[in-house]
Structures are given as structure tokens and as C-alpha cells.
């Protein structure tokens, strides 16, 4: 991969808070109101958050690794590349009656 680990900032996200709300009145809005005002949920989803963002990023990274698999590099790399290419070969899949 050639990239180092991605490190973020850790701690309390004060920008995510809404300090106009008193915590004793609505703790959820106090703690997350700023984030809620700035964040929109994509229309194809019912929710959003860090877990979804991490899932999408990891899916993209795995896809990149698979697509870059060099069949000449090793037996394992060849197996990964062959399996991925066979998955994408829709004509052969349909011809063999494996698609519905």
C-alpha cells in the first residue's frame, strides 16, 4: 500500500455541540446539536455516522487491493485476481445459467 496509518484527532468535538442548549434541558442536543445541524442523512439511508463512514472507507480500500492484485506476484495474488475477474465476467455467468 505504501501509505502509513491514518491518525485523526481525538478528544471532545466541541464543534459537534450546541452550547445554546442547556444540558439539563436536552443532553442529546447539547452534546450533538452542532453535528446534527451540519450533517445530512443521504436519501438512500435511514441513518449515518462514524460506523457507516468507516465501513464505506474499508470497502473502498478492500476493493482497491483486490483490483490491484497482480496475478504474477504470487499464487495467492493470482487466486484473488482470478476470483475477482470471474465475478465480473457477467457473460460467462449468464451463459452458464448462474445468474437469475
Q: Per-domain residue ranges for the chain?
A: 12-48, 49-100
Q: How many helices (H) and strands (E) does the chain have?
A: 4, 0
Which run of H or E residues covers position 36?
A: helix 27-38
Q: Do the beta carbons of residue 31 and residue 25 sit within 8 Å?
A: no
Q: Do the beta carbons of residue 34 and residue 27 sit within 8 Å?
A: no
Q: Is residue 20 over pLDDT 90?
A: yes
Q: Is residue 5 over pLDDT 80?
A: no
How does pLDDT run across 58-68, given as a tens digit for each residue?
A: 999 999 998 88
Sign of CA dihedral 64, 67, 71, 72: negative
How does pLDDT run across 28-68, given as a tens digit for each residue?
A: 999 999 999 998 888 998 988 888 889 999 999 999 998 88
Grid cell for residue 32: 450533538
Residue with cell 443521504: 42
Cα separation, 82 vs 76, whole angstroms: 10
Amino acid at each position: 500500500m505504501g501509505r502509513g496509518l491514518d491518525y485523526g484527532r481525538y478528544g471532545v468535538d466541541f464543534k459537534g455541540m450546541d452550547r445554546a442548549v442547556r444540558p439539563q434541558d436536552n443532553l442529546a442536543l447539547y452534546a450533538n446539536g452542532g453535528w446534527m445541524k451540519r450533517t445530512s442523512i443521504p436519501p438512500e439511508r435511514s441513518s449515518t455516522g462514524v460506523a457507516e463512514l468507516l465501513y464505506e472507507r474499508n470497502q473502498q480500500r478492500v476493493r482497491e487491493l483486490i483490483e490491484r492484485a497482480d496475478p504474477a506476484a504470487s499464487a495467492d495474488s493470482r487466486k484473488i485476481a482470478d476470483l475477482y475477474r470471474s465475478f465480473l465476467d457477467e457473460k460467462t455467468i449468464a451463459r452458464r445459467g448462474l445468474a437469475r
